[in-house]
Structure 1
Amino acid sequence: MSDEMPIPPPSDVKKPEPPKDPNSAEGFRWWRRTFQYKTGMGLTPEEKHQYENDYQFILQRKQCQKCYEYRDWILKYSPTVRFMAQQISKLNGNNNGEVLPFDESKIICDVCPEWRSGGFHPDLGILICQNRIRDKWHLEDTLAHEMVHYFDNLKWQVDWLNLKHHACSEIRASSLSGECRFSQEFQRRGFGFQVAKGHQDCVKRRATLSVMGNPNCKDEKQARKVVNEVWDSCFNDTRPFDEIYR
């Protein structure tokens, strides 16, 4: 989880009150002060630092609220995410064979210091990086990706420090989540790819980057080698889907 300070409610952040008469001298000072806060011009280093801290608190709180709004909407309306939630629920049933509802509290929004949009922890659940999510559809792909990891962990008891295990789940997550479909790759790379080949190249690239973050991985060369070693079996395994969603 994030090491950031907890976000206070907006009521705890002091903001200048607008004057009753904007044409008065007091009104002029207020508008000038507001302009200074917006631009940073004319502020002392201490005032600028305080303003930046206040701004970050407010921004992070808004990001958090929007992230949870997107999460709840996606859980309700996304076919991919709803299907994955059902499959996870089946694997997460109790000893009596009863299917337990998907625990939405396992999906947490928080600030991430790294350039990533989400993460999965076998004990804690799914993290959505509220400060990295571009829009509702980006959150959908991110959540679907992490739910594939969730599914894999329940079905096969993945050893996440084993590079081959990790690479296999990353290949499946990037391939099945929709994050490597044509429209997403077009936004990232323009016309410089072919649809079928572009999908596989995207999956390999993203899986390699993820494996590079494994503490047992030495470098990019090793990550690429491991991804290639497990590629055929893992890319062709589309469970729990019938086929790859593009």
Structure 2
Amino acid sequence: MGDVIPPNEEIKRPKPPLDESSVRGFNWWRRTFQYKTGLGLTTVEKDRYENDYQFIIQRDQCNKCYEYRDWLLKYSPTVIFMAQQIAKLNKKDTNALKFDESKIICDICPEWRSGGFHPELGILLCQNRIRDKWHLEDTMAHEMVHYFDNLKWQVDWLNLKHHACSEIRASSLSGECRFMQEFSRRGFGFKVSGGHQECVRRRATLSVMGNPNCKDQKHAEKIVNEVWDSCFGDTRPFEEIYR
């Protein structure tokens, strides 16, 4: 799990504009110009503009996130495959094997992460942290591995070994540690030989550090090392690691 869905009260949400026409076309351009230059706006109007601006940003981010989510559920081989595997584990009716798309939601995240999984609520995609469609694909795949693990093995997410195992698998199988992704993050600091494993270890350790039962980085590294061999080698439901 690692990245738990945050409670709503942690997220600052702007109010909808008082007048929808004020955030469209010429009126929005005029207000933006006044805000940037400080001409003709009272303190109250500046605060209202800032609220409206944040509202529009969050609305556009949300729309784009769901657009990407729906496209990936239809066209991404990795996401489609994981959705099928989750549906098989989660089926209530053997004649209706369909993934419940409502279990993947887009929202604002207060922290620097791209997604999260909650065993009761499902998958959260952090619309304000997603760089592009392909970043969202890796994020969805990562969280869907957690979803799969939770259904298949009834993971105890407060158990550090359980948590570390799923983080290792999610980082390894999602594609987020393939060469081009690591190169874009780390440049020439990325190792071609053994780079995949190094990336998986690093990202799993960071996620385990966020577990309330983890003391510090050394503790997280110790737990990751203890479960490494069995968990890194377990590629279910894939036949091999996607790189």
TM-score by length of 2: 0.88
For residues 39-50 of structure 1, what are the structure 2 equivalents within 5 Å? Answer: 39=36, 41-42=38-39, 43-50=41-48
Q: Give the corresponding residue for 2:190.
A: 193
Contiguous gaps of at least 5 residues in structure 1: 20-29
Q: Give the corresponding residue for 2:234.
A: 237
Report how far residue 44 of structure 1 moved: 4.7
Report how far residue 8 of structure 1 moved: 3.2
The secondary structure found in structure 2 opposite 1:148 is helix
Q: Give the corresponding residue for 2:137.
A: 140
How far apart, CA to CA, are the structure 2 residues paired with 1:161 and 1:140? 27
The secondary structure found in structure 2 opposite 1:108 is strand
Q: Give the corresponding residue for 1:83.
A: 81
Larger radius of gyration: 1
Identity within the alignment, %:
77
Contact 2:17 / 2:52 at 8 angstroms: preserved in 1? no
Contact 1:92 / 1:99 at 8 angstroms: preserved in 2? no
Contact 2:167 / 2:207 at 8 angstroms: preserved in 1? yes
Q: Give the corresponding residue for 2:58.
A: 60
Contact 1:90 / 1:99 at 8 angstroms: preserved in 2? no
Residue type matched to 2:113 in 1?
Answer: R
Task: Indicate how the Cα distance of structure 1 residues 31 and 15 shifts in structure 2: closer, same or farther if over 3 A, else same.
Answer: closer
For residues 41-190 of structure 1, what are the structure 2 equivalents within 5 Å? Answer: 41-42=38-39, 43-94=41-92, 97-98=94-95, 100-190=97-187
Contact 1:40 / 1:48 at 8 angstroms: preserved in 2? no
Deviations 1:162-197 (A, max 9, x none): 000000000000000000000100100112222241
Residue type matched to 1:75 in 2?
Answer: L
Higher normalized contact order (CA 8 Å, seq sep 6+, divided by chain length): 2
Report how far residue 15 of structure 1 moved: 4.0
Report how far residue 2 of structure 1 moved: 3.6
Contact 1:2 / 1:110 at 8 angstroms: preserved in 2? no
How far apart, CA to CA, are the structure 2 residues paired with 1:185 and 1:205? 11
How far apart, CA to CA, are the structure 1 residues paired with 2:65 and 2:134? 11
Residue type matched to 1:186 in 2?
Answer: F
Contact 1:93 / 1:99 at 8 angstroms: preserved in 2? yes
Residues paired across the two proteins, number: 234
The secondary structure found in structure 2 opposite 1:120 is strand
How far apart, CA to CA, are the structure 2 residues paired with 1:11 and 1:64? 21
Task: Indicate how the Cα distance of structure 1 residues 157 and 9 shifts in structure 2: closer, same or farther if over 3 A, else same.
Answer: farther
The secondary structure found in structure 2 opposite 1:132 is coil
How far apart, CA to CA, are the structure 2 residues paired with 1:17 and 1:238? 51
Q: Give the corresponding residue for 2:4.
A: none
Contact 2:205 / 2:224 at 8 angstroms: preserved in 1? yes
Q: Give the corresponding residue for 1:36.
A: 34
Task: Indicate how the Cα distance of structure 1 residues 152 and 55 shifts in structure 2: closer, same or farther if over 3 A, else same.
Answer: same
Task: Please say which of residues 186-195 and 121-130 is displaced more in the overlay.
Answer: 186-195
Task: Indicate how the Cα distance of structure 1 residues 107 and 212 shifts in structure 2: closer, same or farther if over 3 A, else same.
Answer: same
Residue type matched to 2:128 in 1?
Answer: N
TM-score by length of 1: 0.87
Over aligned residue pairs, what C-alpha RMSD do you find? 2.3
Deviations 1:113-135 (A, max 9, x none): 01010000111100000000000
User: 1:8 aligned to 2:16?
Assistant: yes
Residue type matched to 2:143 in 1?
Answer: E
